[in-house]
Amino acid sequence: MNNKLNFRFGMYEPATDSIIVNTGENSILVIRCKECNSSVVFDAPNDIVYLYRLAEEAPLLYAKLALRENGLQDYVDAMNEFN
């Protein structure tokens, strides 16, 4: 699905805990972080901070990973390897 999307602009909306992505003319994609984060298995409960930081600092990357199978899980696993 995300191979056909053109991600032009994205932002994190803290009030709804969502990523809002402009995907083209008159088209947006809303990704609910709570739902996406719930599919990730964390080594430690505090590891969820990796996803919140990603959503706030790099919302387009979060969106792309959320649309990829195991994308967010792979990201958290990689962050655990580095830390």
Domain positions in the chain are 9-82
pLDDT tens by residue, 9-58: 899 999 999 999 998 878 899 999 999 999 999 999 999 999 999 999 99
Binning pLDDT at 50, 70 and 90, where does residue 1 land? very low
The pLDDT value given to residue 6: 77
Taking the C-alpha atoms of residue 29 and residue 31, their distance in angstroms, rounded to an integer, is 6
Q: pTM here?
A: 0.88
Taking the C-alpha atoms of residue 67 and residue 44, their distance in angstroms, rounded to an integer, is 24
Which residue in this structure is represented by tokens 């959320």? 66
Helix or strand (DSSP H, E) at 11: strand 9-13
The pLDDT value given to residue 8: 81
Closest CA to 51 of 24, 42, 7: 42
The pLDDT value given to residue 30: 96
Taking the C-alpha atoms of residue 56 and residue 5, their distance in angstroms, rounded to an integer, is 21
